Amino acid sequence: MTAVHQFCIIGAHVMVGGCSGVAQDVPPYVIAQGNHATPFGVNIEG
């Protein structure tokens, strides 16, 4: 289960890892993972 904080914007084609907490906006085409999800790569799979 992934938790997303209220009013956070998840960009297009973003992949968020399981059991992650998103507390800030995630830009488009990014892979984010971890507690207080941080971007660590570019989504090249679509």
Q: CA 10, CA 29: separation in Å to the nearest integer?
A: 10
Task: Per-residue pLDDT tens, the chain, 46 aa: give them.
Answer: 899 999 999 999 999 999 999 999 999 999 999 999 999 999 988 7
Q: CA 3, CA 24: separation in Å to the nearest integer?
A: 11
Q: What are the beta bridge partners of residue 27?
A: none
- Where b means 16+ CB within 10 Å and e means fewer, 9-34 reads ebeeebebeeebebeeebeebbbbbe
| Token pair belonging to 31 | 């892979």
* pLDDT value, residue 34: 94
* pLDDT value, residue 45: 85
* pLDDT value, residue 13: 95
